[in-house]
């Protein structure tokens, strides 16, 4: 005998399952952006020293030539200055100081870059672990709980970076246990067990009325999870893009240093190298500030996730806004670093020629005193 209720329930379940698969495809594609950003960040970090090595190999001969030219110019200045007062082209003290720095850098560029990278990465590693690992739900009162239960206290380290961050929270929200599940078009094992225990619609049997109601209710909750994951995932993307932005700033600075050292021997162009050193200090400060702020926000996000899903979604939006603010600051620093590399025409900022003119004006002003 035909059972219209059963077929109707199975048809609804089929539609729910299909919609959930579409949402899962969108969610995992979006979350994969964070994975790609982190992969690019890791690749650049691991290979930036070799990029600089290539530049150094090509600029070693010009560096020696510029140093000899500076020594020659210094000798001419001493000879000419005895005849008539002349502005100096080369500062003897800075010539030998910058010469030692340049020859050390050009002799061991990978060592120098690795030292600077270790300093930059140490800011990131230490603070993240110290703040995030101690996240607890006590920050929020129980009266603020959402309608859904919170995420478990033991969040898995899905991307195996040693830190429980927004990526791991978003993955746990969808029941993702590892990156292999993120690569699969099938639902994560934990998610399917929780919301689609009846499996694929092709082999489902909902002849029992209790199973009909249970299947539809669980599927509805699963769809809700996948839908609201679209709100949480941008936070994970923003966190990893922030790291990538700061690494991009470092890349521009590291690539520009060899060029700056070529002109560090002359008074009019010494501002190049000084500007790069100041920008690297700015990068360290920006990294420190961004890591501290991001770590605090991710800690609060983790605490909110343990208290309730509704609270977690709301905290994700707030965290996203804060991270976008830090990304904007990092991109400004990246624009300044690119500008130092010679892009004033594109960025509209102070470029290399302006820095040279500033150096010339400084020398002229000092000579007039």
> Counting Cβ atoms within 10 Å, is residue 188 exposed (0-12), middle (13-18) or buried (19+)?
buried
Half-sphere exposure of 199 (CA within 13 A, CB side): 5
Cα gap 166→349, rounded to integer Å: 35
Are 232 and 316 within 8 A, CB to CB?
yes
Q: Which of 144-158, 255-269, 316-330 is predicted with the least confidence, judged by mean pLDDT?
A: 144-158
Are 158 and 167 within 8 A, CB to CB?
yes
In sequence order, the 6+-apart residues with CB closer than 8 A to the CB of 289 are 326
Mean pLDDT calculated for residue range 221-229:
88
Cα gap 156→148, rounded to integer Å: 20
Longest C-alpha distance within the chain, in Å? Answer: 118
Are 24 and 176 within 8 A, CB to CB?
no
Predicted pLDDT at 23: 94
DSSP class of residue 162? S
Confidence of residue 350 (pLDDT cuts 50, 70, 90): very low
Mean pLDDT calculated for residue range 117-129:
58
Residue 352: pLDDT above 80?
Answer: no
Please give the model's pTM, rounded to 2 decimal places: 0.74
Between 307 and 196, residue with greater pLDDT: 196
In sequence order, the 6+-apart residues with CB closer than 8 A to the CB of 143 are none
Residue 246: pLDDT above 70?
Answer: yes
**Distance from first CA to last CA of the chain, Å, rounded?**
107
Domain boundaries, the chain: 33-186+225-368
Predicted pLDDT at 25: 93
Residue 257: pLDDT above 60?
Answer: yes
Cα gap 171→161, rounded to integer Å: 14
Name the token pair of 324.
């976008």
Predicted pLDDT at 348: 36
Distances (CA, A) of 264 to 46, 74, 91, 309, 319: 28, 14, 10, 57, 43
Give the number of residues written for the chain: 369
Mean pLDDT calculated for residue range 81-108:
78
The H-or-E segment that residue 154 falls in is none
How many CB atoms lie under 10 A from the CB of residue 20? 23
Distances (CA, A) of 330 to 47, 173, 218, 256: 21, 29, 43, 18
pLDDT digits (tens, 9 = 90+) for 17-69: 899 999 999 999 999 999 999 899 888 888 888 888 888 888 888 888 888 88
Q: Comparing C-alpha atoms, which of 244, 242, 247, 264 is closest to residue 337?
A: 247
Name the token pair of 9.
């329930």
Confidence of residue 366 (pLDDT cuts 50, 70, 90): very low
User: What percent of the chain stands above pLDDT 90?
Assistant: 8
Predicted pLDDT at 153: 63
Helix (H, G, I), strand (E, B) or coil at 252: helix
DSSP class of residue 197? T
């Amino acid at each position: 005998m035909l059972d219209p209720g059963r077929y109707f329930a199975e048809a609804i379940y089929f539609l729910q399952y299909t919609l959930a698969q579409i949402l899962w495809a969108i969610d995992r594609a979006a979350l994969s952006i964070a994975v790609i950003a982190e992969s690019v960040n890791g690749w650049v970090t691991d290979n930036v020293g070799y990029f600089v090595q290539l530049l150094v190999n090509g600029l070693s001969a010009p560096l020696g030539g510029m140093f000899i030219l500076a020594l020659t110019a210094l000798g001419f200045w001493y000879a000419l200055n005895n005849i008539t007062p002349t502005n100096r082209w080369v500062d003897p003290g800075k010539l030998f100081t910058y010469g030692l720095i340049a020859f050390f850098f050009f002799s061991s560029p990978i060592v120098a870059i690795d030292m600077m990278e270790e300093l930059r990465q140490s800011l990131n590693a230490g603070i993240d672990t110290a703040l995030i690992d101690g996240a607890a739900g006590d920050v929020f009162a129980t009266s603020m709980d959402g309608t859904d239960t919170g995420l478990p206290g033991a969040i898995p380290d899905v991307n195996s970076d040693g830190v429980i961050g927004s990526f791991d929270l978003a993955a746990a929200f969808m029941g993702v246990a590892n990156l292999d599940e993120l690569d699969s078009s099938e639902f994560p094992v934990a998610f399917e067990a929780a919301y689609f225990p009846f499996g694929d619609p092709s082999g489902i049997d909902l002849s029992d009325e209790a199973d009909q109601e249970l299947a539809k209710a669980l599927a509805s909750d699963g769809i809700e999870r996948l839908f609201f994951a679209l709100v949480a995932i941008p936070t994970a993307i923003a966190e990893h893009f922030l790291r990538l932005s700061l690494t991009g700033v470092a890349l521009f600075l590291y690539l520009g240093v060899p060029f700056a050292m070529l002109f560090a021997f002359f008074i009019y162009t010494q501002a190049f190298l000084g500007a790069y050193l100041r920008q690297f200090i700015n990068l360290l400060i920006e990294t420190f500030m961004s890591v501290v702020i991001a770590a605090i926000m991710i800690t609060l996000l983790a605490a909110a996730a343990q208290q309730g899903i509704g609270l977690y979604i709301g905290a994700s939006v707030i965290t996203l806004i804060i991270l976008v603010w830090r990304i904007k600051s990092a991109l400004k620093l990246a624009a300044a670093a690119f500008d130092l590399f010679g892009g004033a025409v594109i960025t509209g900022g102070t470029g290399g020629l302006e820095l040279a003119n500033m150096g010339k004006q400084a020398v002229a002003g000092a000579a007039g005193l």
